[in-house]
Amino acid sequence: MERPIAAIGDVTHQAIPDLHKCVKSANVSDVTTEHVIDVRGLVKNFGRFRALDGLDLSVTAGEVHGFLGPNGAGKSTTIRVLLGLLRTDGGSARVFGLDPWREAVPIHRRLAYVPGDVAIWPNLSGGETIDLLIRMRDGDPKSSRREELIERFDLDPTKKGRAYSKGNRQKVALVAAFATEPDLLVLDEPTSGLDPLMEQVFNECLGEHKARGATVLLSSHILSEVERLADRVTIIRAGQAVESGTLESLRRLRRSKITAVVDGQVPDLMADGVHDLDVDGQKITCTVDPDALPIVLTSLTAAGIQSLTSAPPSLEELFLDAYRQDATTPELVDEARR
Amino acid sequence: MSTYTGTGILTRQALRRDRLIAPIWIVLLALFVYVSAAAVPALYKTTAERVQAAQAINSNPAIVALYGPILDVHSIGELAMTKATVLYAIFVAILMVILVRRHTRVEEESGRLELIAGTAVGRNAPMFSAIVEGAVVSLVLGLLAALGAIGGALPTAGSLAFGATWVGIGLVSTGLALVSCQLAASARTCAAIAAGAIAVLFVVRAIGDISAQWLSWLSPFGWNTRFRAWSEPRWWMLALYLGSFVLLVAVAQLLRSRRDLGSGMVAARPGRATGSPRLGDAISLAVRVNQGAIGVWSFAFAALGIIFGAIAPGVSNLLDSPDAEQIIARLGGPGAMADTLITAVLSLVAIIVVCFAISVIAHSGGDEADGRTEEVLATATSRSRWFAATTLVAFGGVLWLLLVAGFFLWIGVGAAGAPAGSHTGRIVPAALVYTPAAWLVIAVAAALFALRRSWAVIGWILPALCLVISLVGELLDLPDWFVRISPYAHVPQLPAAAMNWTPLLVMTGIALVVTAFGWWRFARRDIG
């Protein structure tokens, strides 16, 4: 997946302060706020294959929740369960406090869904499809934001479904989803077919959606996008949640990368919690566990710091870290979390 | 690298994908030939009886319109293959359309052809592999049909010549399907064009066989009769089949070279920028998605009704030989013969019409496989409504199409003047009386779809099964219970026979119960 080049525009400037504000508020309100999505111990089998294996996921009202995981980890399966399309074999799932299997219709009046691979009717025009989907959610296309969104997404609504490219099909679904201003957006890799310009429009729309106080479950592979937009993330692997929390809290559990140049004699940093140590003359690079940070900093200060940079792990590193865990030892990750 | 590089591997892949559908059709058709051949000695004890039967067929323009004439009344083979020569050659043609379309336009529409075109495969290879497959399947089918006839104790030379006519039909249909698949961007429209072309060729032959002989020479179905497989085969006529095949293939390749991948010959027109307020729920969507098909089917049944309706009363006028008059008198006079024809046409229509409903259900299965169902069910549309929309269009469409067929038969008969003693005033009820039987078959197809998404296509077997049950039961004189497995065996044979409500109500009841089971099941299974 390409990194979004054009994303360093106005959007980023708006989104970043926003993000930090909300990260804090999400932390505080975690306990008190209503869970829009609340999944506990979810199990789903396809024949002998266990797609979801005790998955936990909670999304609080008003947050953008990043939902990450490698291909086949169970992201789309989870989303399908939340939409009431799949039966579960164990655990519980609640959306707006309702059971998605039994009460799909009342739930769906309040949400909009954009699948990763949007399929539309080949003989219906894009405009017809948008209006159809809006009407099927009991909305009225005329009083919706469809016209404005069609313009912003630069979509030709008169083309027939079969003539649209993947990106344009995605725009059709996105316009229909944003048009009625739902309480919850469920997005399954919504920008995988969009060009960087359209991705920016998408980011703007998502920002407006959030500003209304609405909630988003955003499954994505584009980590920079999630990093920029998400308040909290859940990383899943093999049908289980391996990481969940605000980006800040996840980072706190991970090694920081330290690069330092010291005046005096290079201190011996070989200790528990210090890894990948590399000494090149007066320059030291290493990665440090959170617990070991004070010791390392003390030693470095004693040696006389000329320059020091400490980089928190990027989401990509968190993500890759979670990927790399041996699939048979998820409890190790749990320990790390504690 | 030649533009044909990769034909071999693509053909093998195509044959592998067809390893179920092609053998089933081939074996069923060959079996039908065998049963038809083997049944003759039991049906007709003496040569005189055979000649009489052949003359009876020839003297009834309605039957000639359906099956074609019997050119040599003394030939046992020609009588045995009455239905196979022309009418069942349609199934050969349909098989070719299914196979060719599957490997050309369907691949193109789904984008898989693009994937293949990006590999080391020549530009002409995908189409050429479809041609090769069409030819191979035609040859195997023709050979097995010939073996079926030989196995049924018909003369070997005649059997081989008969098989050759089926190979010929297979080749021409392959070419026809190839051309059809170049014309429209939608695989569904291409299928409709191909089916329309086959219907036109069949009707041209039907008209030719009962009035202007030269017309029959314009249709490959007419060639099948005129090949004289069972007396003195006109082997030179193979050139007609082969020539048409080559010509159609050349046209298809020319059309293909003049268009872009994924497009048809007509540029797609822009659609509406906004949706109609009437297109806003599952039902209106199901109607909208199927309205093109409903239109084509309605037109086809209207045309069929008018033609056969107009033919039916003409039976007595065309007869002047004393022999034929005798036969007609024995069958109950001209009125009764008109009634018989109408019953025969309607019983076929009633089975064919189910194919429309199966296509609706299969289409819903396709929606689910592609993810459109998921998108609809993520809106405020419940599973019940979605399932109801599919079944309502299937049930309602069949009722409508039977009404169209019956109405236009009635119009045709009225225009030609109903013969004395017929019950042609009851044609519309005679058509509608098949509704419960058709519904029952559709209900089973819908229940299969409700049980598992991929089982939606099994529905296609059901109408064929009903046909095979009645034909095999009739030809082999099997016990009554066997024939009565098919719901169609319980339908009162209007217009001549008396109305009987009991079987109709029972079948409607069963259809409702089976549909309710499907509805219950669909609300409880995984979607996707």
Concatenated DSSP letters for B365-413? HHHHHHTHHHHHHTTT--HHHHHHHHHHHHHHHHHHHHHHHHHHHHHHH
Instruction: Out of A249, A270, A301, pick the residue that ends a domain.
Output: A249
What's the mean pLDDT when you consider all of chain A? 83
What would the pLDDT profile of A91-125 be if each residue is shown by its tens digit? 999 999 999 999 999 999 999 999 988 999 988 99
Q: Considering only CA atoms, which of B201, B198, B28 is closest in space to residue B98?
A: B198
Calculated CA dihedral for residues B195, B198, B204, B205, nearest 10 degrees: -140
Q: Considering only CA atoms, which of B138, B217, B123, B215 is closest in space to residue B176?
A: B138
Res. A325 pLDDT band, cuts 50 70 90:
low
Q: Considering only CA atoms, which of B512, B471, B464, B504 is closest in space to residue B487?
A: B504
Q: Is B271 on the interface with A (CB under 8 A)?
A: yes
Q: What percent of chain B has pLDDT over 70?
A: 96
The DSSP letter of residue A291 is G
The DSSP letter of residue A217 is E
* pLDDT at residue A28 tops 50: no
pLDDT value at residue B327: 64
Res. B121 pLDDT band, cuts 50 70 90:
confident
SS3 A153: coil
Task: Say yes or no: A77 and A187 in one domain.
Answer: yes
Instruction: Out of A249, A268, A291, pick the residue that ends a domain.
Output: A249
* pLDDT at residue B143 tops 60: yes
pLDDT value at residue B122: 85
Q: Choose from A186-200, A213-227, B375-389 the range with maximum mean pLDDT.
A: B375-389
Q: What is the mean pLDDT of residues A235-252?
A: 84
SS3 A239: coil
Task: Say yes or no: A104 and A221 in one domain.
Answer: yes
Paired tokens of B228: 């004289």
Does residue A38 lie within any of the structural domains? yes
pLDDT value at residue A55: 95
pTM of the model: 0.81
Res. A60 pLDDT band, cuts 50 70 90:
very high
Taking the C-alpha atoms of residue B528 and residue B215, their distance in angstroms, rounded to an integer, is 50
Task: Say yes or no: A245 and A260 in one domain.
Answer: no
The residue with greater pLDDT, A28 or B325, is B325
Which chain B positions have a beta carbon within 8 Å of A107's beta carbon? none
Does residue A327 lie within any of the structural domains? no
Q: What is the mean pLDDT of residues B305-328?
A: 67
Q: What is the mean pLDDT of residues A324-334?
A: 47
Paired tokens of B298: 């309605």
* pLDDT at residue A71 tops 90: no
Q: What is the mean pLDDT of residues A188-217?
A: 92
Q: What percent of chain A has pLDDT over 70?
A: 86
- From residue A280, how far is each of A259, A303, B106, B234 by CA, in Å? 11, 15, 62, 95
Question: Mind giving me the DSSP string for A95-152?
Answer: ETTB-TTTSHHHHHHTEEEE-SS----TTSBHHHHHHHHHHHTT--GGGSSHHHHHHH
Q: Is B266 on the interface with A (CB under 8 A)?
A: no
HEC sequence for B238-264: HHHHHHHHHHHHHHHHHHHHCCCCCCC
> What's the one-letter identity of residue B459?
G
The DSSP letter of residue A145 is S
SS3 B229: coil
Which chain B positions have a beta carbon within 8 Å of A163's beta carbon? 268
Instruction: Compare all CA atoms of chain A with the CA of B278 and give the residue at the minimum distance.
Output: A132
* pLDDT at residue A64 tops 50: yes
* pLDDT at residue B374 tops 80: yes
Question: Mind giving me the DSSP string for A158-176?
Answer: TSBGGG--HHHHHHHHHHH
pLDDT value at residue B323: 63
Task: Say yes or no: A188 and A302 in one domain.
Answer: no
Q: Considering CB atoms only, which of B109, B376, B526 is closest to A136?
A: B376
pLDDT value at residue B317: 54
What are the phi and psi torsion angles at A95 (to 5°)? -125, 125
Any idea which of A321-325, B105-109, B217-221, B374-378 has the lowest mean pLDDT?
A: A321-325
Q: Considering CB atoms only, which of A126, A136, A141 is closest to B281?
A: A136
What would the pLDDT profile of A153-197 be if each residue is shown by its tens digit? 999 999 998 889 899 999 999 999 999 999 999 999 888 889 989
pLDDT value at residue A332: 40
What would the pLDDT profile of B259-292 be if each residue is shown by its tens digit? 888 787 776 778 888 888 889 899 999 999 999 8
Task: Say yes or no: A38 and A76 in one domain.
Answer: yes
What are the phi and psi torsion angles at B511 (to 5°)? -60, -40
**Residue B272 to chain A, least CA–CA distance (Å):** 5
Report the run of H or E that residue A219 belongs to, with start and end: strand A215-219
Q: Choose from B283-292, B318-327, B391-400 the range with maximum mean pLDDT.
A: B391-400
Q: Are strands A49-60 and A35-46 parallel, antiparallel or unpaired?
A: antiparallel
Q: What is the mean pLDDT of residues A142-157?
A: 94
* pLDDT at residue B431 tops 90: yes
With a CB cutoff of 8 Å and minimum separation 6, the contacts of A306 are A260, A261, A262, A263, A282
Give the CATH number, domain containing residue A212. Answer: 3.40.50.300
Does residue A233 lie within any of the structural domains? yes
Task: Say yes or no: A265 and A188 in one domain.
Answer: no
Taking the C-alpha atoms of residue B491 and residue B508, their distance in angstroms, rounded to an integer, is 12
Q: Considering only CA atoms, which of B161, B164, B189, B145 is closest in space to residue B37?
A: B145
Paired tokens of A86: 């799949």
Res. B321 pLDDT band, cuts 50 70 90:
low
* pLDDT at residue B418 tops 60: yes
* pLDDT at residue B319 tops 60: no
Whether B528 sits inside 8 A of A86 (CB atoms) is yes
Res. A149 pLDDT band, cuts 50 70 90:
very high
Q: Considering only CA atoms, which of B357, B449, B442 is closest in space to residue B400?
A: B357
User: Containing domain of residue A264, as a range?
Assistant: 255-311
Output the furthest CA–CA distance in chain B (Å, rounded). Answer: 72
In chain B, domain spans: 1-264, 279-528
Q: Considering CB atoms only, which of B372, B380, B525 is closest to A108?
A: B380
Res. B330 pLDDT band, cuts 50 70 90:
low
Paired tokens of B458: 């099994």
> What's the one-letter identity of residue A32?
T
Taking the C-alpha atoms of residue A199 and residue A115, their distance in angstroms, rounded to an integer, is 16
* pLDDT at residue A219 tops 80: yes
Paired tokens of B32: 């039908």
Task: Say yes or no: A62 and A20 in one domain.
Answer: yes
Any idea which of A47-56, B11-20, B107-116 has the lowest mean pLDDT?
A: B107-116
Whether B275 sits inside 8 A of A129 (CB atoms) is yes
Q: Are the beta carbons of A27 and A246 closer than 8 angstroms?
A: yes
- Chain A (157-196) residues lying within 8 Å, Cβ to Cβ, of chain B: 157-160, 162-163, 173, 186
Any idea which of A124-128, A222-226, A293-297, B170-174 has the lowest mean pLDDT?
A: A222-226
Res. B421 pLDDT band, cuts 50 70 90:
confident
Q: What is the mean pLDDT of residues A21-41?
A: 60
Does residue A2 lie within any of the structural domains? no
pLDDT value at residue B176: 96
SS3 A215: strand
Domain count, chain A: 2
Taking the C-alpha atoms of residue B310 and residue B30, their distance in angstroms, rounded to an integer, is 34
Q: Is B172 on the interface with A (CB under 8 A)?
A: no
What are the phi and psi torsion angles at A37 (to 5°)? -120, 130
Q: Is B117 on the interface with A (CB under 8 A)?
A: no
* pLDDT at residue A232 tops 90: yes
pLDDT value at residue B339: 84
* pLDDT at residue A221 tops 80: no
The residue with greater pLDDT, B207 or B220, is B220
The residue with greater pLDDT, B112 or B151, is B151
The residue with greater pLDDT, A71 or A5, is A71
**Residue B190 to chain A, least CA–CA distance (Å):** 14
Q: Is B281 on the interface with A (CB under 8 A)?
A: yes
Res. A246 pLDDT band, cuts 50 70 90:
confident
Q: What is the mean pLDDT of residues A126-148?
A: 94
Give the CATH number, domain containing residue A263. Answer: 3.30.70
Task: Say yes or no: A41 and A89 in one domain.
Answer: yes
- For B488, half-sphere exposure in the C-beta direction (CA atoms, 13 angstrom radius) is 27
Q: What is the mean pLDDT of residues B358-387?
A: 94
Taking the C-alpha atoms of residue B464 and residue B145, their distance in angstroms, rounded to an integer, is 18
Task: Say yes or no: A262 and A236 in one domain.
Answer: no
Paired tokens of A297: 């900093």
Task: Say yes or no: A95 and A70 in one domain.
Answer: yes
Q: What is the mean pLDDT of residues B470-477?
A: 77
Q: What percent of chain A has pLDDT over 90?
A: 49
Q: Considering CB atoms only, which of A119, A127, A163 is closest to B274?
A: A127
Mutation target to probe the A interface, by most A beta carbons within 10 A, among B379, B383, B384, B522 is B379
Res. A19 pLDDT band, cuts 50 70 90:
very low
